[in-house]
């Protein structure tokens, strides 16, 4: 795949269709891959990479990149195309300035999950028939491929590209995913258990804002949490209230716009399952207002931007499920 | 208003009332001399839709034990559709608070028209009792704001 | 050297908690490690690094500095400082131990930060030598020997026994307080373990990273380098690198209105944030490029310029594994260095 992508990028560059390529750049190790913009064939030849660790969603970078001169080539995985579509819907990306090549997606790997197994000194990672052969300073280690898969890929919702100019490989379908399982499990707990669960998770938050900054739906030019005039700006969670508030507001602000790309949980340095908050909103929207997938198209109204006269009352929350 | 002198827990309740219906409803309750607890602190808003999730959270941060949001009945909004948006927003917000394990009976939305003074008083009595049963808000309070 | 069998670690911890509060790194459910207050039954983590560094103990993410009470036109200033309790941080790695030296240069220089100093005086740092360094480790670059950590007292493990030695008076006091549990031990096997670890350290992928190209006199060479654009273009502007960093020491002071008074607190700040060092006239660093450059220039040029050549990095590797887009000081050094 990497080879085909490199060739495609070089071809489009030489034909003058695009003048830049956004993709992923090889790092020091097997897994530390950085999203990067390439401007010529030599750079691409030297450091362009697409492998099991290229999980980063590059759609958000296109907000900035699509406003520069010339057209940029973006390789988008199926999940990235949803984010891209959503950004077009919100007029954040200039569509004409992006040439999209759809590429097959994951499952991608999470280096943290390999390290959590106690495997350290990682020099190289190879996937052989869904067994990972990990070359380390301390000798070779193996582990099952699926145990190292990123959470966001383990509950993949779609292999379908919802927008592209051209595809490498075949297009897939939306999947019958198990993505709401954990949300349901929490819903079936008692309020006290849920409270304890979220306290143990959210108290780990260091307020680095990585979840917000990586989120393709968070594109406000000045976030309320960065605005000293808002009265709620803060650089650290000084109280448990602020931990809750930040995460409620973060998830609420993207409710109905979140495509469930899972980047928030992927980047969290404290491994907080932040996507569960977003998924809770998605699940509620599906239940109360009908199935809705943000980013699926560029015309539909977001669920919080419309209403029906016979919508359920808010107090429905007080009557259902476990207290 | 009645003044509570006994020592049982007295919750602090914030009621956001829309200017056109619910605030007038509260007014009517007053002119009709209908009793509702002095635990209720009313904040007048131009429309129930003016209340964003931050208002609700901020009320809890600053010591509220319960928050109730009152607006015009669906279809009667002074601005045609504000309360419909409120309804969706608050449904999702309350559901999220419930998901985080914060007692769901601390929040409520009620539609109260300008003619429903009696409903306003009854709703406030009932809500105050419900919050009283829950005790002080401990799960969504800011410890720094607690009065020593 | 004095030693204790590794099976008896819990006895050691119990003995320490008898007189002081003890913090040890423990494994969390998600596989990462963090420092926790010791309670019976807790197991010492074997992890190389905790997600948050040990600097939290001396320089916490948020702390109240002073309270104000308003009464009409009078303001009462309430000094809320109190003497810190005595505490022990056990199992600090060599890199984190060095970070305290760096933080000391900032907080113990005039004007002395009394909040920091108070904790520093009451805290005993017991370090733990590394035996399984990771690929992200590059403490050697900054002259740190992972097999001989600094700290008030240091521990070394040979797989069976834990050896312990004091580096100063505070460390000696700590050892005296637990001496009933310790016995003299033969260090032959330990020396073997340590030399093995040293061999591994030499073979690490980043073992050859050098600071030769950097230092206080390199301001003009690097400040206007054209590499910053490329290096910073994918930076998300989050604060992960700064908040997991054991040596980042920038903070912001803010007032919180509680409704019945003011709490003045400080919290960590990050040069990656858009309102970092914002002043009345605005922000001196308007673009992410400038903010990104600030972080690395601070560690590699400004800090050594003001501190006799000491760099503001200890090579713990946290930013290498935690940065959401894997852009880090190693990549910056390799891109900038003059070969």
Give every CB contact of residue A102 below 8 A, 6+ residues apart in sequence: A76, A78, A81, A161, A164, A166, A167, A168, A171
Domain borders along chain C are 2-203, 219-336
Closest residue in B to C263 (Cα) is B144
pLDDT digits (tens, 9 = 90+) for C49-105: 999 999 999 999 999 999 999 888 899 999 999 999 999 999 999 999 999 999 999
Q: Confirm whether pTM is higher than 0.90.
A: yes
Cis bond upstream, residue A23 (ω within 30): no
Give the list of residues 6+ apart from residue A151 with CB closer than 8 angstroms, or none. A110, A262, A265, A266, A273, A275
Q: What is the CA radius of gyration of chain A?
A: 21
**For residue A223, what is the nearest residue in chain C, using CA coordinates?**
C274
pLDDT at C205 over 90: yes
CB B139 within 8 A of CB B114: no
Nearest to C63 by CA among C127, C119, C141, C3: C119
Q: What is the pLDDT of residues A124-162, one digit of tens each?
A: 999 999 999 999 999 999 999 999 999 999 999 999 999
Q: Could you tell me how far CA C206 lies from the centroid of its own chain?
A: 20
Same domain, A61 and A168: yes
A27 shares its domain with A164: yes
Which has the closest alpha carbon to A45: A2, A108, A103? A2
Q: Return d(Cα C41, Cα C99) in angstroms, integer.
A: 30
Identify whether the C-beta of residue A75 lies closer than 8 Å to the C-beta of residue A103: yes
- Alpha-helix runs per DSSP H in C272-328: 288-297, 303-306, 318-322
A303 inside 8 A of chain B by CB:
yes
- Residue B39's nearest CA partner among B71, B60, B9, B61 is B9
Are residues B66 and B38 in contact, defined by beta-carbon separation less than 8 angstroms?
no
Which residues touch B90 (CB under 8 Å, ≥6 apart)? A314, B69, B107, B109
SS3 category, B16: strand
Banded model confidence at residue A323, pLDDT cuts 50, 70, 90: low
pLDDT value at A238 more than 90: no
Which DSSP string corresponds to A66-108? TTSSS-EEEEE-HHHHHHHHHHHHTT-S-GGGEEEEE----PP
Distances in whole angstroms, Cα of residue A177 to Cα of each of A174, A272, A276: 9, 21, 14
Chain centre distance of CA A322: 30
pLDDT digits (tens, 9 = 90+) for B85-132: 999 999 999 999 999 999 989 999 999 999 999 999 999 999 999 999
Is the CB of residue A286 less than 8 Å away from at least one CB of chain B? no
- Separation of alpha carbons A289 and A307, rounded Å: 8
C-beta neighbour count of B80 within 10 angstroms:
9
Q: Answer for the pair A112, A51: CB distance below 8 angstroms, yes or no.
A: no
The label of the residue with tokens 């040596």 reads C247
User: Do A29 and A102 lie in a common domain?
Assistant: yes
The answer to whether B1 contacts chain C (CB < 8 Å) is no
Q: Say if A225 is an interface residue toward chain B (CB within 8 Å).
A: no
Regarding whether A291 and A255 lie in a shared domain, the answer is yes
Q: Which of residues 83-112 of A touch B (CB under 8 A)?
A: none
β pairing state of C74-79 and C33-37: unpaired
Predicted confidence (pLDDT) at residue B2 exceeds the cutoff of 60: no
Q: Which residues of C touch B145 (CB under 8 A)?
A: 258-260
Q: Edge-to-edge strand order for the sheet containing B66-71? A: B40-45, B13-18, B66-71, B107-111
pLDDT exceeds cutoff 60 at A322: no
Domain range spanning residue A142?
Answer: 111-148
CB < 8 Å to C259, chain B:
62-63, 145
Question: Does A267 lie in the same domain as A127?
Answer: no
Task: Name the minimum distance, in Å, from the CA of C3 to any CA of chain A.
Answer: 26
A37 & A161 share domain: yes
What's phi and psi for C173, nearest 5 deg? -60, -40
Closest to A20 measured CA to CA, from A43, A40, A48, A2: A40
Mean pLDDT of the region B5-28: 91
The ipTM of this complex is 0.92
Candidates A314, A316, A321, A323: best to mutate against B (most CBs of B within 10 A) is A314
- Do A102 and A9 lie in a common domain? yes
Average pLDDT over residues C325-335: 95
pLDDT of residue C72: 87
Q: Is B30 in CB contact (< 8 Å) with chain C?
A: no
What pLDDT, on a 0 to 100 scale, did the predictor assign at position A173? 87
Same domain? A219 vs A139: no
Into how many domains does chain A fold?
3
Binned at pLDDT 50, 70 and 90, residue C31 comes out as confident
In this structure, are A199 and A166 located in the same domain? no
Looking at chain C, the whole-number percentage of residues with pLDDT higher than 90 is 89
Query: Residue B83 phi/psi, 5° resolution?
Result: -70, -20
Nearest to A84 by CA among A55, A58, A50: A58
Q: Which residue has the tokens 């935690």?
A: C322
B63 vs C contacts (CB less than 8 Å):
259
Is some CB atom of chain C closer than 8 A to the CB atom of B41?
Answer: no
pLDDT at A148: 94
């Amino acid at each position: 795949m990497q080879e085909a992508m490199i060739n495609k990028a070089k071809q489009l560059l030489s034909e003058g269709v695009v003048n830049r390529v956004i993709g992923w750049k090889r790092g020091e190790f097997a897994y530390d891959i950085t999203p990067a913009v390439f401007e010529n064939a030599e750079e691409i030849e030297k450091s362009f990479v697409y492998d099991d660790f290229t999980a980063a969603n590059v759609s958000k970078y296109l907000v900035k990149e699509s406003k520069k001169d010339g057209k940029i080539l973006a390789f988008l995985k199926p999940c990235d195309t949803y984010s891209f579509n959503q950004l077009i819907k919100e007029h954040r990306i200039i569509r004409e300035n992006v040439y999209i090549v759809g590429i097959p997606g994951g499952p991608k790997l999470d280096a943290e999950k390999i390290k959590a197994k106690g495997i350290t000194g990682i020099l190289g990672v190879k996937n052989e028939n869904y067994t990972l052969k990990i070359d380390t300073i301390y000798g070779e280690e193996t582990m099952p491929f699926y145990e190292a898969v990123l959470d966001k890929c383990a509950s993949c919702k779609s292999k379908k590209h919802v927008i592209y100019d051209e595809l490498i490989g075949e297009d897939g379908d939306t999947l019958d995913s198990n993505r709401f399982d954990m949300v349901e499990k929490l819903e079936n707990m008692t309020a006290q258990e849920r409270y304890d669960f979220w306290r143990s998770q959210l108290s780990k938050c260091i307020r680095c804002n990585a979840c917000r900054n990586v989120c393709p739906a968070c594109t406000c030019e000045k976030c309320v949490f960065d605005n000293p005039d808002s009265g709620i700006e803060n650089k650290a969670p000084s109280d448990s209230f602020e931990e809750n508030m930040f995460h409620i507001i973060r998830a609420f602000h993207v409710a109905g716009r979140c495509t469930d790309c899972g980047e928030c949980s992927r980047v969290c340095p404290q491994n907080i399952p932040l996507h569960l908050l977003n998924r809770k909103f998605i699940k509620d929207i599906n239940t109360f207002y009908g199935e809705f997938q943000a980013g699926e198209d560029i015309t539909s109204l977001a669920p919080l931007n419309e209403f029906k006269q016979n919508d359920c009352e808010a107090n429905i929350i007080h009557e259902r499920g476990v207290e | 208003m009645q003044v509570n002198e006994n020592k049982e827990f007295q919750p602090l309740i914030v009621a956001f009332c829309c200017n056109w219906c619910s605030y007038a409803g509260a007014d009517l309750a007053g002119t009709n001399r209908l009793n509702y607890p002095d635990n209720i602190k009313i904040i007048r808003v131009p429309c129930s839709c003016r209340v964003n999730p931050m208002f609700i959270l901020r009320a809890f941060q600053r010591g509220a034990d319960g928050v109730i949001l009152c607006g015009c009945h669906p279809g009667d909004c002074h601005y045609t559709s504000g309360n419909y948006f409120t309804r969706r927003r608050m449904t999702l917000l309350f559901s999220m608070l419930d998901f985080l394990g914060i007692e769901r009976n601390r929040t409520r939305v009620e539609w109260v028209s300008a003619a429903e003074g009696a409903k306003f008083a009854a709703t406030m009595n009932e809500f105050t009792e419900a919050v009283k049963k829950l005790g002080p808000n401990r799960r969504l309070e800011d410890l720094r704001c607690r009065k020593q | 050297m004095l030693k204790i069998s590794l099976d008896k670690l819990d006895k050691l911890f119990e003995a320490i908690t008898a007189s002081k509060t003890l913090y040890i790194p423990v494994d969390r459910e998600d596989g990462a490690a963090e420092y926790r207050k010791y309670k019976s039954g807790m197991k010492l983590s074997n992890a190389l690094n905790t997600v948050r560094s040990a600097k939290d103990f001396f320089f916490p993410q948020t702390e109240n500095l002073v309270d104000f009470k308003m009464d009409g036109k009078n303001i009462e200033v309430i000094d809320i400082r109190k003497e810190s309790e005595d505490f022990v941080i056990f199992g600090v790695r060599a890199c984190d131990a060095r970070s305290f030296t760096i933080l000391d240069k900032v907080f113990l220089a005039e004007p002395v930060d009394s909040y920091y100093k108070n904790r520093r005086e009451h805290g005993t740092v017991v370090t733990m030598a590394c035996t399984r360094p990771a690929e992200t480790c590059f403490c050697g670059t900054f002259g740190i020997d992972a097999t001989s950590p600094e700290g008030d007292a240091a521990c070394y493990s040979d797989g069976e026994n834990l050896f312990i030695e004091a580096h100063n008076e505070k460390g000696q006091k700590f050892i005296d307080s637990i001496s009933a549990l310790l016995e003299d031990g033969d260090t032959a096997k330990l020396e073997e373990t340590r030399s093995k670890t040293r061999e591994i350290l030499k073979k690490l992928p980043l073992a050859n990273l050098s600071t030769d190209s950097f230092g206080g006199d390199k301001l003009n060479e690097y400040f206007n380098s054209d590499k910053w654009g490329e290096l910073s273009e994918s930076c998300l502007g989050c604060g992960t690198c700064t908040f997991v960093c054991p040596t980042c020491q920038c903070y912001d002071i803010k007032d919180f209105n509680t409704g019945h008074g003011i709490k003045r607190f400080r919290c960590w700040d990050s040069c990656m944030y858009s309102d970092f060092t914002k002043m009345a006239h605005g922000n001196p660093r308007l673009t992410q490029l400038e903010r990104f450059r600030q972080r690395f220039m601070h560690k590699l040029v400004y800090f050594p310029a003001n501190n006799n050549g000491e760099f503001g990095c200890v090579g713990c590797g946290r930013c290498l594994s935690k940065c959401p887009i894997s852009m880090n000081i190693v990549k910056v050094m390799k891109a900038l260095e003059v070969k």
